[in-house]
Structure 1
Amino acid sequence: MKKLFILFLLLTVACGKADNASVPPTPSTQTTAAAQAAQIDKDIVTWLQGKAVPFDTAEPDENYDDLMPLNNIIGDAQIVALGEATHGTHEFSAMKHRIFQFLVKEKGFNAIALEVPWAEAELINRYVRTGEGNPEELLAGLHFWITNTEELLAMIEWMRSHNQNPGDAPQVSFYGLDMQFPAMPMGIVIDYFEQIDPEKVSLVNELYACFQPYANYYNNKDTTKAYNDLPGEEKALCGENLQQVSDILANNQETYQASSSASEFAHVSHAAKLVTVAQKYLGQLESKSDFYGAEVRDKFMADSVSWIMEQGDGNTKIAVWAHNGHVANTTKYSTRLGAFLREQYGQDLIIFGFTFYGGSFNARPDLGIPPTSHQAAQPAKDNLSHYLQSTDIPRFFLDLRDIEPDAPATDWLFKPLKFTFIGSVYVEEYGDKYVATIQVPDDYDIIIYFAETTPTNLLPSVFQE
């Protein structure tokens, strides 16, 4: 239990609408927040109130007046990473949708990429580009409850509507970054060989055979254990077999591109790479190696962002939707997606971390159990949210760049602070433990804060899995 708890506590950072942004804090939360605010130095409160950039709502609409400060905050960045403190908070998902609309309309962004399976996400992209398919069914096909929500459905339907009449803004595309479901990518590779080099199809099938029984392993403890119980030599040989498929593609690049196209070859090459990375990741889920495979997964997601950028011939501007734990610019425990992207793109990347003080959210009590609503534990006094609630501002941006570290009103911010991290699984008896101690300004450029939050609105298919 301890091992499972640690894994999901730190790494499962892998989804009738009222205007939830206008819902006031509950009396208990309001009273607690007021009492805690009184314990914070007045200079700190005054500085936070002056530095905070309030906005009106998380709910997507066509009025962006309150978001216009983002013009200067984002500047000329080509990548905007949008985190989340939980996978099941309505305000986080709605706000990311709203920010993406702003980025498209005001900053010329033309893509969004989520921590969802790469190949399955292509079917959603086909819908937003052409209208082909049923968006609810396609969301269910992503395998993750965290994205099977009314909030994400609303964004996808907005993207489709926008693409039909983009006006002066670019058309938009939807991408996945993740590699935890390699079955469909295997099919993409095999289909490519059937069209381009049929004589090698039997060889490719033979090389992939060792991994086929374990391909869609996520959320299946038995499959994960069965693979990791295999002898080490057998797993190593399987890894070599999968890599051989990528090598066949690389060694025949000129011929294969001539028979298809450069874009098709890049597509199948990325699919083949995904399969090799998925096998390596699965082999580390049952051990502490690479902190349960976290770095392997985040490196592939960063590579996927780069792959998307490369397909755009220098014209891609992309929003990245993932958990705070992924988008963080950190190498603590393991190098995360945000750190890989920062190393490659520098200040062309802006990282937004999301946090909250009180309210509720959706999460699974354990793997294989449908998500339910949970009430958030009260933040400790050394949690960033403890300080942010002292402003008495319900929602705001906080730019952490260019802050003087040695002033009395700001010195606290540069000390290790707790930061709420809740993934897809939440064990209530450990509610106050879902935090990481971090250097907040090192990990995030901007914080988006909500005083009170509510759960995401899950689609019916979540409960039919």
Structure 2
Amino acid sequence: MLHGVSTSLPAAIAQAAHPLTGAMGDYTPLLELVGDANYVLIGEATHGTHEFYAERARITQRLILEHGFNAVAVEGDWPDAYRVNRFVRDRGDDADPIQALQGFQRFPSWMWRNTDVVDFVSWLRSYNDGLEPDDKVGFYGLDLYSLFTSMDEVLRYLEQVDPVAAAAAKDRYSCFDHYQDDSESYAYAAGAGTSASCESAVIAQLQELQRHALAYMQRDSANAHDAYFYAEQNARLVINAEAYYRTMFRGRVSSWNLRDRHMADTLDALIGHVGARTGTQAKIVVWEHNSHIGDARATEVGQLGESNVGQLVRERYGDQARLIGFSTYHGTVTAASEWGGRAERKQVKPALPGSYEELFHQAGVDRFLLDLRTGSALREELMASRLQRAIGVLYLPHSERRSHYFHAQLARQFDAMIHFDRTSAVMPLEQVSKANGREVPETFPEGV
């Protein structure tokens, strides 16, 4: 026995594993597993690993080229990602991918301002160059941390289409003025009940925007529908971000669930919008941390009442969804040691005994893809609850077990797993991320 694991289990994993060699056909078995599914959610075990970003991009390129996927949605803020969307669809003012990614300034900027994302955004722009405007593949953000930026974007839109409505919206959003763009101050004040919340004002603003939707979308503009959709999603984000900050000090479960439900609802909105724009079925690739896209019902945090994007997408779309995770045994990672800290290249400790990562290491295959959907004795073995590592934007090796591990049933959590035994740190475009008062730390585990 190896740490309570049958000595035959690593051998069975090695036999079932599809080695990844860097060849063109590496992910052909994965595309066969995707089949006719329209929504492919691809994870990452850290927010700072080169292999996870690079291989996720390789998979996504094949899904776009061979399966007709027409949008990419990421764990990033809606306004920042939409700037990239304008660039890749040739509707923005940015000259190159690095400039298009400049919106991602909030800590941890290296999640999206890194060389691997630059390469993918460059590829996507080139791919779109040969397509009709409505057929171009978009790039969108699902997250809700852009409370103040999204308010600014709603006002900017209304100033262009309806100055009278813009003045009324500015009055509604003035509820936030004395917090000086500091979401943490608002979270403390509204959450503690020391100040009235802005809930009714932000809800009223979305309702008013929607009341004029038809008129705004009928404006004489080539991208009137896209512009309205962008503004509406910003107004909806303001509602959910306000609720998130108001509840975040009341406990992890409620704030986590609100955030992931927002991301799942944003994906739903994208499905409708992309389908209407292209006149075809929306087929979307999602890039998020494993903790968001692996089905929460298969984890110990799910048993505590948490749900996540992967669970919600499975519940809503069933077999139309595929959930794909990544893992690593050791190597290096780009992460900070404290919230708002400098991006560091840190050594990742070998995985703990009893973890899935250690089990994959024992299989002796450096890089492999493992199909978890096929019914087999191996799949039943991988139904056992074992430790799984999750490194977010912070890596705290001195508290490895408490900070970065939870129990999960892998074969229920994902449809496929991709393992790289040794991984390397992603290369940030800058070494320092801006940590200002506008945003507060993300959620467990350590900022995912």
> TM-score scaled by structure 2?
0.85
- Alpha-carbon deviation of 1:435? 0.8
Query: 1:265 maps to what in 2?
Result: 228
- Alpha-carbon deviation of 1:375? 1.7
Instruction: Identify if the C-alpha distance between structure 1 residues 155 and 228 changes in structure 2 by more than 3 Å, giving closer, same or farther.
Output: same
Query: 1:280 maps to what in 2?
Result: 243
Query: 1:45 maps to what in 2?
Result: 10
Among 114, 123, 139, the alignment partner of 2:74 is 114
Q: Does 1:439 align with 2:439?
A: no
Q: Does 1:325 align with 2:291?
A: yes
Q: Does 1:365 align with 2:327?
A: no
* Percentage of matched positions with identical amino acids: 28
Q: Does 1:353 align with 2:325?
A: yes
Query: 1:141 maps to what in 2?
Result: 103
- Alpha-carbon deviation of 1:40? 5.0
- Contact in 2 for aligned 1:181/1:215 (Cα 8 Å): no
Superposition pairs for residues 55-454 of structure 1, below 5 Å? 55-57=20-22, 64-130=24-90, 132-133=93-94, 134-143=96-105, 144-165=109-130, 171-212=136-177, 217=182, 223-225=183-185, 227-230=187-190, 236-259=196-219, 261-288=224-251, 290-291=253-254, 293-313=255-275, 314-331=280-297, 332=302, 333=304, 334-404=306-376, 407=377, 410-433=379-402, 434-454=404-424
The SS at the match of 2:369 is strand
- Alpha-carbon deviation of 1:267? 3.0
- Alpha-carbon deviation of 1:100? 1.0
In structure 2, list runs of 5 or more residues that go unmatched: 436-448
| Cα deviation code 1:80-107 (max 9, x no counterpart) | 1110010011110111111111111221
Instruction: Identify if the C-alpha distance between structure 1 residues 96 and 213 changes in structure 2 by more than 3 Å, giving closer, same or farther.
Output: farther
The SS at the match of 1:204 is helix
- Alpha-carbon deviation of 1:214? 5.0
- Contact in 1 for aligned 2:190/2:196 (Cα 8 Å): no
| Cα deviation code 1:152-175 (max 9, x no counterpart) | 1111111112222469xx642211
- Contact in 2 for aligned 1:183/1:215 (Cα 8 Å): no
The SS at the match of 1:283 is helix
- Alpha-carbon deviation of 1:263? 4.5
The number of aligned residues is 414
Distance in 2 (alpha carbons) for counterparts of 1:227 and 1:68: 47
- Contact in 2 for aligned 1:163/1:171 (Cα 8 Å): yes
- Alpha-carbon deviation of 1:212? 4.6
Distance in 2 (alpha carbons) for counterparts of 1:349 and 1:424: 27
Distance in 1 (alpha carbons) for counterparts of 2:272 and 2:235: 17
Query: 1:14 maps to what in 2?
Result: none
Distance in 2 (alpha carbons) for counterparts of 1:375 and 1:137: 30
Distance in 2 (alpha carbons) for counterparts of 1:136 and 1:461: 15
- Alpha-carbon deviation of 1:234? 6.6
> 2:324 is aligned with what amino acid?
F
The SS at the match of 1:66 is coil
In structure 1, list runs of 5 or more residues that go unmatched: 1-35, 58-62, 218-222
| Cα deviation code 1:57-88 (max 9, x no counterpart) | 3xxxxx62222222311101111111001001
- Contact in 2 for aligned 1:180/1:216 (Cα 8 Å): no
Query: 1:27 maps to what in 2?
Result: none
> 1:342 is aligned with what amino acid?
R
- Contact in 2 for aligned 1:140/1:461 (Cα 8 Å): no
The SS at the match of 1:426 is coil
- Contact in 2 for aligned 1:224/1:285 (Cα 8 Å): no
Distance in 1 (alpha carbons) for counterparts of 2:434 and 2:249: 28
Distance in 1 (alpha carbons) for counterparts of 2:327 and 2:266: 26
> 2:159 is aligned with what amino acid?
E
Distance in 2 (alpha carbons) for counterparts of 1:213 and 1:138: 31
Distance in 2 (alpha carbons) for counterparts of 1:103 and 1:214: 44
- Contact in 2 for aligned 1:376/1:431 (Cα 8 Å): no
Q: Where does structure 1 differ by over 6 angstroms across 4 or more consecutive aligned residues?
A: 36-39
- Alpha-carbon deviation of 1:451? 0.7
Worse overlay, 426-435 or 148-157: 426-435
Worse overlay, 378-387 or 365-374: 378-387
Distance in 1 (alpha carbons) for counterparts of 2:250 and 2:3: 45
| Cα deviation code 1:241-273 (max 9, x no counterpart) | 111101212334444444575544333222110
- Contact in 2 for aligned 1:326/1:338 (Cα 8 Å): yes
Worse overlay, 200-209 or 128-137: 128-137
Distance in 2 (alpha carbons) for counterparts of 1:329 and 1:191: 38
- Contact in 2 for aligned 1:211/1:279 (Cα 8 Å): no
Q: Does 1:460 align with 2:401?
A: no
